[in-house]
A and B are shown apart, each in its own frame.
Chain A
Amino acid sequence: DIQMTQSPPSLSASVGDRVTITCRASQSISSYLNWYQQKAGKAPKLLIYSASSLQSGVPSTFSGSGSGTDFTLTISSLQPEDFATYYCQQSYSTPKTFGQGTKVEIK
């Protein structure tokens, strides 16, 4: 199975900050990398697919980059509604494994 390692596990940031979350795959996954946002008690929401494609309806403050084994999710200006847990997921091969999550908290 492909292992996905996210960092950091958590971070504290202020509204307006630029936030970067990284995800590393244990082997090359080309661009088959997806990012999700999950708020407490809710289902995950797809933000970015294929490493850098913005899902319809997602604000342009979210962006993704990377290929191969190293990927990044960037929130260019953190908004109050962005405080949540973020997960990466590889869809290159089954099982489609997730990273362990990054909790973004209010500083």
Chain B
Amino acid sequence: QVQLVESGGGLVKPGGSLRLSCAASGFSFSDYYMSWIRQAPGKGLEWVSHISGSGTTIHYADSVKGLFTISRDNAKNSLYLQMNSLRAEDTAVYYCARERSSRGAPDYWGQGTLVTVSS
């Protein structure tokens, strides 16, 4: 069965960096777009970024463009999010999700990892 397990969250000071990972199993990882979606405490969902199966097509939300970098390692069935220059407003649970296609719905989600940006 499809499984997505995020890791790497934690407490970081403003201006700091963090790298999130998502380990995928149960499907042909390289065949799917993968995305990061976040949810600030008590707030709604915000799509952050996605990457094509080959890694050649990448899109970001304006709120993270130039600050976050999405990448993948198909040999390791892993998705990553490098987050730099973190701000308090980046505090959220970060979910990785599988997307059915470039215009597809995120159909499987991980359990999420909490990132807290605070001094």
Contacts and interface: CB of A to CB of B under 8 A. Distances in A.
A32 interface: yes
B107 A49 contact: yes
Q: Is the interface of A mostly helix, strand, loop or mixed?
A: loop
Contacts of B61: 94-95
Contacts, number: 58
Given A49-B100, A98-B46, A44 B109 contact: yes
B107 A95 contact: no
Contacts of A97: 47
A94 B107 contact: no
Contacts of B62: 1, 95
Which range holds the interface residue count of chain A? 20 to 34
B14 interface: no
Contact of A89 (B45, B60, B112): B45
A39 interface: no
Contact of B44 (A50, A87, A94): A87
Q: List the 3 shortest-distance A-B pairs measured between CB atoms, nearest first.
A: A34-B105, A94-B59, A49-B105
Interface string A84-107: 000101011111111111000000
B105 A92 contact: no
Which range holds the interface residue count of chain B? 20 to 34
Interface of B: 35, 44-47, 50, 59-62, 95, 99-100, 103-112
Contacts of B111: 43
A91 B109 contact: no
A50 B99 CA distance: 13
B106 A46 contact: yes
Contacts of B45: 36, 38, 44, 87, 89, 98, 101
A71 to B, nearest CB: 13
